[in-house]
Chains A and B, each alone.
Chain A
């Protein structure tokens, strides 16, 4: 690692560490959400960027994690770690059982298959009110308690959420750099060739789908402990769509891209909402503009711009 990268990294770390203390409380709150959305978006990024799969079902796993945490802590009085584990196990099991058949679909069919899955889950969250509280939801979810240190303020919870997010990024990076990652790339670029080299495409896609579900569920549990209240409105098809936007906007193959995307979907609506009710229209238009003008996402567009500037600079120099 050269000194310059090290310097950047150190600066980044310092900014990250002081940020929640210098920004207003509502922004610290948004930064917590950015961390949560980064975790959820990472899984979708893995599927989209490395398997070419559009996953529109992430709100399902997000919801499972959130309800597992809510039900275990509020209804059963269990420690919060149990909620995280139960959510993760259920989500991964469901992703495996559903993933095996559904991941045989390709392209649009898979995308709309996952969208249908999200619609089913959102209807069931609504109907099974003995479990989820329906539209009334479940309230009074305790704040996380880390060995006696209560994470009851956004500025405290921020560090916990982001450490989880960094850990998930490390897992994702490892997965991409490992043998599995090589197989994934082979599969994305030429599935026939990969299959001929005895890569089990079905198993591979299912494995990444399960990892994606795990991240979704973790994010859901983190959300439940942050908001203290969960209800069906948080886990609709719209939420699945906004999760998908994270890797699309930031750039699906780059891990920093996911953070950029998460910042985009948390901060932009908030900033636009200052302009009044028109903000949802502007958000939609911003999305259309990104898709049409920057097919590789913001990070990809930035990279391209930098290469172009560098070329121009060397040309003149």
Chain B
């Protein structure tokens, strides 16, 4: 095991970890705001990435505008799902399981729609910052990965600022901690839940757009990202979107360091085993803060 191999693995781990973190932060934001585990979080990534691909290739939008379009598409689908399904089911006091099944059904539908309307082929996006690479101690690092890491960190900090500094963010937090209390102070709780889904869709789409230049996007990408994002969110304590950032990084690093020792095809086995073990041994997540079920 050489130093450059370890460095390469560390870098791959951080890159993947940021993607898991973005998907996980979206999942966690939705859970925090609505108590719904969104089993179609990975589909937001597919929607964002596919929309960007289509805008870029079919309509010839500039890359930056296409990325923005993809992110907005994720946010809109998020809003639609809350307004069309979650709101109705919440009114009928649907159980935890029903929400899970709803999102599983939506994930199947969306994945099948991508297969039907766009096809089975994978699509790539051009890397940000061009095709160039950086070589440190023989470890090859794509410029795109550097962009991905920078944008991921930026998004995490922005999310933190959003929850702590803006009126909407604070209202969303209030609505999730005590819905009745928030309603008393004049917060529109139902609208905050819609915003929660918008935020979840936005973060998921961003994750999908950023990972597409590295691994491509196809109709099957969603489920895997959902699982990894959920693992990231659980590691971080589930109700804490910023914890999901730490969880995602941890997961990415564990995965890529583990496969130095064993075959790379065991990557998912390692990741999901870690998920199960952490859930059993550390029910509060690795940060161990504020109960995962509480606000």
Q: Which of B96, B98, B111 contacts A291 (CB 8 A)?
A: B98
In the complex, the chain B residue whose C-beta lies closest to that of A289 is B105
Q: Which of A105, A119, A244, A295 contacts B279 (CB 8 A)?
A: A105
A115 vs B113: C-alpha distance in the bound complex, in angstroms? Answer: 23
* B100 A54 Cβ-Cβ under 8 A: yes
Interfacial chain A residues near B97, Cβ < 8 Å: 48, 52, 54, 111
* A116 B227 Cβ-Cβ under 8 A: yes
A109 vs B280: C-alpha distance in the bound complex, in angstroms? Answer: 9
* A120 B272 Cβ-Cβ under 8 A: yes
Interfacial chain A residues near B258, Cβ < 8 Å: none
For residue A76, CB closer than 8 A to chain B, the reply is no
In the complex, the chain A residue whose C-beta lies closest to that of B36 is A108
Interfacial chain A residues near B230, Cβ < 8 Å: 112
Docked complex: B215-245 residues within 8 A CB-CB of A: 223, 227, 230-231, 234
* A288 B269 Cβ-Cβ under 8 A: no
For residue B106, CB closer than 8 A to chain A, the reply is yes
Known: A54-B97, A107-B96, A283-B108. A288 touches B102 (CB 8 A): yes
- Counting chain B residues whose Cβ lies within 8 A of the other chain, the interface size class is 35 or more
Known: A284-B112, A291-B101, A295-B92. A102 touches B269 (CB 8 A): no
Contact flags (1/0) for A44-87 with B, using CB distance below 8 Å? 00001000101000000000000000000000000000000000
* A281 B109 Cβ-Cβ under 8 A: yes
A314 to chain B, nearest CB (A): 27
* B106 A284 Cβ-Cβ under 8 A: yes
Interfacial chain A residues near B92, Cβ < 8 Å: 295
A128 to chain B, nearest CB (A): 11
For residue B265, CB closer than 8 A to chain A, the reply is yes
A123 vs B101: C-alpha distance in the bound complex, in angstroms? Answer: 24
Known: A108-B100, A127-B265, A248-B101. A292 touches B85 (CB 8 A): yes
B36 to chain A, nearest CB (A): 9
Binding site secondary structure of chain A: helix
For residue A163, CB closer than 8 A to chain B, the reply is no
Interfacial chain B residues near A285, Cβ < 8 Å: 105, 109
Interface size on A, residues (CB 8 A): 39
For residue B275, CB closer than 8 A to chain A, the reply is yes
For residue B138, CB closer than 8 A to chain A, the reply is no
* A102 B100 Cβ-Cβ under 8 A: no
* B280 A284 Cβ-Cβ under 8 A: no
For residue A104, CB closer than 8 A to chain B, the reply is yes
A173 to chain B, nearest CB (A): 23
A61 vs B224: C-alpha distance in the bound complex, in angstroms? Answer: 21
Interfacial chain B residues near A117, Cβ < 8 Å: 272, 276
A107 vs B102: C-alpha distance in the bound complex, in angstroms? Answer: 15
Interfacial chain B residues near A102, Cβ < 8 Å: 276, 280
* B102 A284 Cβ-Cβ under 8 A: no
For residue A278, CB closer than 8 A to chain B, the reply is yes
A233 vs B113: C-alpha distance in the bound complex, in angstroms? Answer: 21
For residue B37, CB closer than 8 A to chain A, the reply is yes
Interfacial chain B residues near A127, Cβ < 8 Å: 263, 265-266, 269
* A105 B269 Cβ-Cβ under 8 A: no
For residue A287, CB closer than 8 A to chain B, the reply is yes
In the complex, the chain A residue whose C-beta lies closest to that of B93 is A295
Contact flags (1/0) for B86-100 with A, using CB distance below 8 Å? 001100101111101
Q: Which of B106, B110, B112, B275 contacts A116 (CB 8 A)?
A: B275
* A295 B98 Cβ-Cβ under 8 A: yes
In the complex, the chain B residue whose C-beta lies closest to that of A295 is B98
* A119 B268 Cβ-Cβ under 8 A: yes
* A119 B227 Cβ-Cβ under 8 A: yes
**24 A-B residue pairings within 8 Å (CB atoms):** A48-B97, A54-B97, A107-B96, A112-B230, A112-B234, A113-B276, A116-B231, A116-B272, A123-B269, A126-B265, A127-B265, A237-B223, A244-B101, A278-B116, A280-B108, A281-B112, A283-B108, A284-B111, A287-B108, A291-B101, A291-B102, A295-B92, A295-B94, A295-B95
10 closest Cβ contacts across the A-B interface?
A284-B109, A280-B112, A284-B108, A287-B105, A116-B272, A288-B105, A281-B112, A108-B37, A291-B101, A120-B272
Contacts A104-B280, A119-B268, A248-B101 known; 6 new A-B pairs at CB < 8 A: A109-B279, A120-B268, A123-B268, A127-B265, A127-B269, A241-B108
